[in-house]
Structure 1
C-alpha cells in the first residue's frame, strides 16, 4: 500500500519494511520526521527496516538524521540511490549509522538496488528479532 504524506510518499513493502519517497527538492525536517514516526508507530511491526528510495533529489536536515539512526526499533536502513547528490546524503547517514551500530547500506538503483535492499533488510530484521 502507498500513502501520501506531506513530504512525499510511504510505501508499505511489508508489515516490517517501510519505503520512503521524498518529493523532488524537498527537505525531510523535524516536522516531517514527527509525521513519519507517528505513521510508522501506527502501521508497522517492530523491528522494522527502512528503504530510502532516492529517486528524487531531496535532502535530510541534520536535526533528523541522528534520531533516525538512534531509533532502536529500526533494524537497518537501505538507501537506493540514482544520483551522485543522493550518494552524498547516504554517506552522511552511513557515518552516523556506524557510530550508533545501525546496519546501513547503499544500493544502486541501476543494479537491482531496490530488490537487493529489500532482501538485505529482511535479513537484518531477522537478525535483530533473534537477538531480542
Structure 2
C-alpha cells in the first residue's frame, strides 16, 4: 500500500516496516515531521522500522533534525543513499542526534542497498523479539 503525504510517499512494506521516499528538493519542516509521525503512529501502534529510500535530494530544518526518529515504537532506521549528498545529509542527522543512540544504518543504493537494508531491518526486528 502506498500513501501520498505533503512531502512524499510512504509505502507499507509489511506489518512492521514502512518505506519513505521524500520528494526532490523538499525541505522537511517540523510540521511535515508531525504529519509523518501521525501517519506512522496510526499505521504502526506496535514496534516497527523504517526504510528511508533517498532517491531524491532533500534537506531538513534544524527543528526537524531534532525531531525525526523520536517515535516511541520506532526500533530502527535503514537509509539507502545514492550519492555523496545523501550520505552527507544522513551523517549530519546522526551527528546532531548522537546522544540519542539512534539505531540507524546506511546502505548504498548502488550496491543492492534496498534489499540489504530490508534484510537488516528484519534482523533488528527479529532480535527485538518481533516477527517481521
TM-score scaled by length of structure 1: 0.89
Q: Is the 8 A contact 1:52 1:79 kept in 2?
A: yes
* Cα RMSD for the two superposed structures: 1.6
TM-score scaled by length of structure 2: 0.89
- Mapped to 2, the partners of 1:72 and 1:33 lie a distance apart of 14
Q: Deviations over 1:83-130 (max 9, x none)?
A: 211111110222345421221110000111011111111111223346
**1:70 match: secondary structure:** coil
**Which residue number in structure 2 is paired with residue 67 of structure 1?**
67
- Mapped to 2, the partners of 1:123 and 1:68 lie a distance apart of 22
Is the alpha carbon distance of 1:8 and 1:70 closer, same or farther for their aligned partners in structure 2, counting shifts above 3 Å? closer
Is the alpha carbon distance of 1:39 and 1:71 closer, same or farther for their aligned partners in structure 2, counting shifts above 3 Å? closer
Q: Which runs of 5+ in 2 are unaligned?
A: none
**Which residue number in structure 2 is paired with residue 56 of structure 1?**
56
Cα offset, 1:70, TM superposition = 3.5
Is the alpha carbon distance of 1:100 and 1:128 closer, same or farther for their aligned partners in structure 2, counting shifts above 3 Å? farther
In the alignment, does 2:81 pair up with 1:118? no
Is the alpha carbon distance of 1:43 and 1:69 closer, same or farther for their aligned partners in structure 2, counting shifts above 3 Å? closer
Q: Which runs of 5+ in 1 are unaligned?
A: none
Q: Deviations over 1:45-93 (max 9, x none)?
A: 4211111111001112221222223333111111100121111111022
* Equivalenced residues, count: 130
More displaced 10-residue stretch of structure 1: 69-78 or 35-44:
69-78
